Structure 1
């Protein structure tokens, strides 16, 4: 496995804090459509004079920034947060296990998602599909949005009823500071928002671009701006920085105060999305001398209490998000978005400098935390203290492989474990480990737990297609 040093934060990191910064990384070669982007060797150049102004406070948006008026005080975008919420009964079969590939013809998609209206979204290369309640097969469109520009789709997440977020991969930039909005690379990759029309078509809503951030100095919500239309996902503390270009993971908040919000993990950090607005970014890091290192964020989850669980190639962290979208990237005061774990690693797995290759991060009903690595297996994590650079890890024995790709915690206290080429496994509330035999396919690519169904639904995407388990 080729390794790389990812993310080098400069002066901005020292000012704004270790979890939110403007920086630069070395650009890997864009992978083929069906390849997973892999880190490569290389030390990012110093950002030098490209350091953003302190907290972004000196940045003034151009007069033609476009978009709707700024969000009102309180941090809620004008479309109500996650878009219109459709309250519908659970429309899908109640059987304990249903093979959606066979029954509804969904095929073998690359990724799957479900929105608040129980529409099932499908991603397969340059195709986006949706299986609506009552339909016998999906609707598909081809080359919509960034896919039409040749970019490689990675993940899809459902939003409000009839809305989905599609994440793409684009090369990182040697210098992510964009001096001109006409720069061809400004706006590549990141996130497209798509929606269902009343007549049953899938259309582009927009390329996500509405950066929403509150001014620290005034602290009254008076400074909020958007970058020019369709320049994509940018640093909210200075949206002239183009860092979060490759979206590698995403998760929708399924319940609680922030229900309907979406978090996306990128090559650089984690961005928070409400409707058509975002705030970017936060990331666990470590320091190599005076250089800050951040890894690709593949591991992304929501805890039992609504905390955001973040795990990248090296480190992991846990953040309790403020209700206000506009302060997601704030580091000071620490009480604003308190961190239960700031930037930590498990010394039982590797030294800090060696990749742990985290791919999933979940918390079960009993409060236990679990990290899944693509190389080192499943680990139970105990918090020693927030300020420690390391936490306590214990490897879970009994799995036939150390290649973990996905995790899902369910309301019955179980942890479902998706492996590469060894199928789906269940660690139940009594810590008994068993193979789930009624899911075809050995390569488990995605697990999504939706407790809003009656009974609850666990979406299991494998190399053989989509199966939905119910009742956990």
Structure 2
């Protein structure tokens, strides 16, 4: 299927059950899925950028208005974008169909560029995520393949969907930097720290453990690590799992799964979050997991030994919601300052998740009452102990540190598209994107 044929398709929203992982064997099947056959010698390459980019360090204080609530759609003319992001220099990035915008500090309105990268080939954009100073990542949608195994690295199918890196030039224009293609994976068969072989041409994001498999094709969600050891890294949720990005390098993928008649089920990942201690929170249509990422990007997809990427939760569901084969449709996964975990479903409301044990196939779920709807879109935990809750049709809600629920009345719009929390603002900034535009809340 050629790129030009993709423009008619919108990003999927938990429709038909996702396909099994063609590149991974069941736990009891033996063997290794990482053997791509006879390959050229591994290229040790270069280490990925340690700070997630190559720009200067983030400014000490953000330059944006300090009021408790500012409507950026009215004040800066940002319109009603589908996704918003912020980079290390507090540039505010906007995504609206085939247009990418950036609102720079000191500007009164964003500048826009159209049809860059994958958008110019007819692919539908999905989300945008901030990177280092002047860099952002733009996700695109491509349909899953009935057979994700490709016979040649020159197969054009590899270049469908995936992720572009764009950058702001010194002249003040937005340009394509690169269609992300640099897989970074330690060759654990050799055990000498060298990297697995990469095809010589651009193959987009494909399985790092076996270049032949093009399973991650649609980017559905993303989160930037805002502080801590891995500050600046980005995790993107796809139709198949979670890919870790550092600068222009990636490692793909890992995911919570379940098994049905010997087939692996890995749902679409719409919920990716960062816990208070830097753990990665992953929730897809069926299951969820919590991973402590190894400092080495090249080991992100390593499942064994489990000490490489320890998991507080491996692959679990909440039986209080429904049975495992039924979709839970998770859209948010956050941990609040008091250490509690919360999951938001687009159909089943807000749930507190209590861990029973790491390897248990289910954990304990408790439904939270008091919201006007069970149709939720997003979550954001903030430093004051609050949990902000985005709804479809009932606006933005806040559960404060004392677990009291209230409607946030100074945010226009009925449906919350995205919540983005940046604790690096002074005071911290919560970007709230709704069907009425963009509002930024301060001080939480």
Identify the TM-score tier after normalising by the shorter chain.
Answer: over 0.9
Does structure 2 conserve the Cα–Cα contact (< 8 Å) formed by 1:53 and 1:59?
no
**Deviation at 1:59?**
5.3
Give distance in 2, aligned partners of 1:49 and 1:439. 45
Give distance in 2, aligned partners of 1:338 and 1:49. 20
CA separation of 1:42 and 1:182: change in aligned 2, threshold 3 A: same
- Give runs of aligned pairs for residues 67-466 of structure 1, distance below 5 A: 70-72=45-47, 77-78=48-49, 81-88=52-59, 89-466=61-438
Give distance in 2, aligned partners of 1:49 and 1:460. 38
CA separation of 1:370 and 1:46: change in aligned 2, threshold 3 A: closer
CA separation of 1:140 and 1:62: change in aligned 2, threshold 3 A: farther
**Deviation at 1:192?**
0.4
Does structure 2 conserve the Cα–Cα contact (< 8 Å) formed by 1:45 and 1:174?
no
Unaligned 5+ segments in structure 2 are none
**Deviation at 1:118?**
0.3
- Give runs of aligned pairs for residues 55-70 of structure 1, distance below 5 A: 56=34, 70=45
* Counterpart in the other structure of 1:23: none
* Counterpart in the other structure of 1:18: none
CA separation of 1:46 and 1:94: change in aligned 2, threshold 3 A: closer
CA separation of 1:228 and 1:187: change in aligned 2, threshold 3 A: farther
Give distance in 1, aligned partners of 2:257 and 2:358. 14
SS of equivalent to 1:380: strand
**Deviation at 1:178?**
1.2
Q: Note the alpha carbon deviations across 1:25-49, whole angstroms, 9 max, x for none.
A: xxxx95746x441344468489599
Does structure 1 conserve the Cα–Cα contact (< 8 Å) formed by 2:430 and 2:442?
yes
* Counterpart in the other structure of 1:468: 440
CA separation of 1:40 and 1:441: change in aligned 2, threshold 3 A: closer
Does structure 2 conserve the Cα–Cα contact (< 8 Å) formed by 1:166 and 1:194?
yes
Give distance in 1, aligned partners of 2:398 and 2:311. 29
Q: Note the alpha carbon deviations across 1:143-197, whole angstroms, 9 max, x for none.
A: 0000000000000000001000000000111111111233231211010000000
**Deviation at 1:255?**
0.2
Give distance in 2, aligned partners of 1:430 and 1:48. 46
Q: Aligned Cα RMSD in Å?
A: 2.3
SS of equivalent to 1:230: coil
Give distance in 2, aligned partners of 1:374 and 1:32. 24
Give distance in 1, aligned partners of 2:20 and 2:316. 24
Alignment TM-score, normalising by the size of structure 1: 0.88
SS of equivalent to 1:186: helix
Does structure 2 conserve the Cα–Cα contact (< 8 Å) formed by 1:189 and 1:245?
yes
Q: Note the alpha carbon deviations across 1:295-316, whole angstroms, 9 max, x for none.
A: 0000110000000000000000
Q: Note the alpha carbon deviations across 1:335-394, whole angstroms, 9 max, x for none.
A: 110000000000100011110110110000000000000000000000000011000000
Give distance in 2, aligned partners of 1:154 and 1:191. 10
Q: Note the alpha carbon deviations across 1:192-233, whole angstroms, 9 max, x for none.
A: 000000000101111000000001123231234333332100
Give distance in 2, aligned partners of 1:397 and 1:289. 36
Aligned length: 436
Does structure 1 conserve the Cα–Cα contact (< 8 Å) formed by 2:44 and 2:194?
no
Give distance in 1, aligned partners of 2:295 and 2:282. 18
Give distance in 2, aligned partners of 1:31 and 1:349. 35
Does structure 2 conserve the Cα–Cα contact (< 8 Å) formed by 1:172 and 1:243?
yes
Does structure 2 conserve the Cα–Cα contact (< 8 Å) formed by 1:206 and 1:230?
no
Give distance in 1, aligned partners of 2:426 and 2:198. 40
Alignment TM-score, normalising by the size of structure 2: 0.94
Give distance in 2, aligned partners of 1:462 and 1:228. 42
Does structure 2 conserve the Cα–Cα contact (< 8 Å) formed by 1:128 and 1:141?
yes
Give distance in 1, aligned partners of 2:332 and 2:23. 34
